[in-house]
Each structure stands twice: as structure tokens, then as C-alpha cells.
């Protein structure tokens, strides 16, 4: 009789242990992945402001629906070059409500004995306001030469006695900033980027642009 009770007690203990283990496995089972329904490649947070069709696109891009949303969107880009002269040659791109303002000018700083201060003399070479199609072309150009990767560049080639130097500052559409500079040493693609801006600005159709040259200014109908 005692043996039977002993066997029964062992069976009851085994049943209780089995039930506890089953309950623990059920409690520790992982919950369904809440992100499983998120499509591949779609970010659940803010995306770069130059991305089209995804959540988190900045209001700066959506404010004008003509902006293609592709490339490297920018609010402003200023590139100043010096070729061992007293003048800096400057290209300035500024986003506007209707497109982009492009300015190409030389800048000279000098000390004025009349005011006892340093002053700046600006000689405008060309200035125009272009539409959103031009802005879209320029942001594609910025992406082609990957100007965002130039941030923090500081180059110097001491082996060159004469040559050129540059300073660049830019504010991108997402609010990030780019600062780069160099003397006889430049980021990869820099010269091509500047040359493309120059060629692009000079090749613009002036039928409907505000236009200024060194000699005169006019607004064409």
C-alpha cells in the first residue's frame, strides 16, 4: 500500500512540474513583431529631406510641389575662389519660392582711409532668377558630385607656390550645413562642379529671367 502511495505521489509531482514548464514557455514566447508590416526600405522615422514619397519629408520641400524631391536639395550654396589676386570670384545659389537665384560676382576687400574700416567692393558679373526646373537641375548636379561628402574638407598642398584657394559653405534642405576649404587642394569633383555651375548659369535662356550684367540690368518679359 505504501508503495502505491509513493508511486502516486511521484506521478502527481511530475504532472505539476510539466504544467509549470508549459506555463513558463507560454509566458516567455516573443510577441509578434510590430514592424513586420512595415514595407522593406520604408523608414518609420524621418527620412532625408531630398527623398520623394516617404514620410518625414521636410516642409521646405513640400512647400513648392514643383520640387522633384530628388538629388541634394539646398537652401544656399556659396563658393568663393581666389587665384592669387586681390579679388575673390564667387558663385552664389539661393533657393527662392519660385526656383533659384544665381549670382556670379567678384569681391574685393580693402582698407578705407576715409572710414578707417575694411570695406567690401562687389562687382556683379551676372545675376538672374530662374524657375524650379533650374533648381531641380542644380540639386541633381549637387548629387552627381556628392557635395555633402565635402563637409569638413580642409586641404593644402605646400609644394605649389602659386595657384588657387577656395571656401565653400552650404545649407541643405534638411538644415544640415557644409563647410569646406582648401589651398591648391580640392575635394574630388570640385573643379567640375564649379565649372558646371558656371556653364549652366551662362547657358540659361533669358526669355523670362531677371538678368544683370556688369554693364546693365533688365527684366525680360
What's residue 13's pLDDT? 67
Q: Is residue 157 part of a domain?
A: yes
Q: Is residue 25 part of a domain?
A: no
**69/50 Cα distance (integer angstroms):** 5
What's residue 105's pLDDT? 94
**69/51 Cα distance (integer angstroms):** 6
Q: Is residue 86 part of a domain?
A: yes
Q: Residue 203, class by beta-carbon neighbours within 10 Å (0-12 exposed, 13-18 middle, 19+ buried)?
A: exposed
User: Residues 49, 174: contact at Cβ < 8 Å?
Assistant: yes
Whole-number Cα distances in Å, 26 to 2, 13, 16, 119: 37, 20, 16, 78
Number of domains in the chain: 1
Residue partners of 149: CB distance under 8 A and separation at least 6:
187
Q: Is residue 38 part of a domain?
A: no
**8/4 Cα distance (integer angstroms):** 6
Query: For residue 212, what are the β-bridge partners?
Result: 127, 217
What's residue 161's pLDDT? 78
What's residue 137's pLDDT? 92
In which domain, by residue range, is 195 found?
A: 60-219
Q: Is residue 35 part of a domain?
A: no
Q: Can you list the residues of the chain whose pLDDT is less than 50? A: 23-65, 206-209, 215-218, 220-221
Q: Is residue 123 part of a domain?
A: yes
What's residue 111's pLDDT? 83
What's residue 77's pLDDT? 97
Phi, psi of 162 (to 5 degrees): -115, 155
**74/94 Cα distance (integer angstroms):** 8
CB atoms within 10 A of CB 29: 8
Q: Is residue 1 part of a domain?
A: no
What's residue 103's pLDDT? 93
Query: For residue 217, what are the β-bridge partners?
Result: 212
Q: Is residue 189 part of a domain?
A: yes
**135/141 Cα distance (integer angstroms):** 10
DSSP 135: H
What's residue 63's pLDDT? 35
Amino acid at each position: 500500500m505504501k508503495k502505491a502511495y509513493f508511486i502516486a505521489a511521484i506521478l502527481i509531482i511530475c504532472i505539476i512540474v510539466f504544467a509549470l514548464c508549459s506555463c513558463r514557455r507560454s509566458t516567455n514566447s516573443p510577441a509578434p513583431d510590430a514592424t513586420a508590416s512595415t514595407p522593406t526600405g520604408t523608414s518609420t522615422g524621418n527620412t532625408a529631406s531630398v527623398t520623394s514619397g516617404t514620410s518625414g519629408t521636410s516642409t521646405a520641400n513640400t512647400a513648392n510641389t514643383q520640387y522633384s524631391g530628388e538629388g541634394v536639395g539646398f537652401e544656399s550654396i556659396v563658393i568663393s575662389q581666389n587665384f592669387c589676386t586681390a579679388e575673390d570670384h564667387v558663385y552664389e545659389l539661393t533657393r527662392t519660392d519660385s526656383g533659384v537665384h544665381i549670382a556670379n560676382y567678384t569681391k574685393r576687400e580693402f582698407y578705407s582711409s576715409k572710414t578707417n574700416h575694411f570695406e567690401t567692393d562687389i562687382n556683379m558679373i551676372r545675376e538672374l532668377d530662374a524657375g524650379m526646373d533650374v533648381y531641380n537641375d542644380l540639386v541633381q548636379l549637387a548629387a552627381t558630385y556628392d557635395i555633402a561628402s565635402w563637409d569638413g574638407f580642409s586641404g593644402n598642398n605646400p609644394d605649389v607656390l602659386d595657384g588657387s584657394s577656395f571656401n565653400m559653405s552650404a545649407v541643405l534642405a534638411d538644415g544640415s550645413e557644409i563647410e569646406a576649404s582648401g589651398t591648391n587642394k580640392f575635394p574630388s569633383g570640385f573643379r567640375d562642379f564649379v565649372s558646371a555651375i558656371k556653364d549652366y548659369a551662362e547657358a540659361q535662356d533669358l526669355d523670362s529671367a531677371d538678368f544683370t550684367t556688369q554693364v546693365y540690368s533688365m527684366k525680360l518679359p
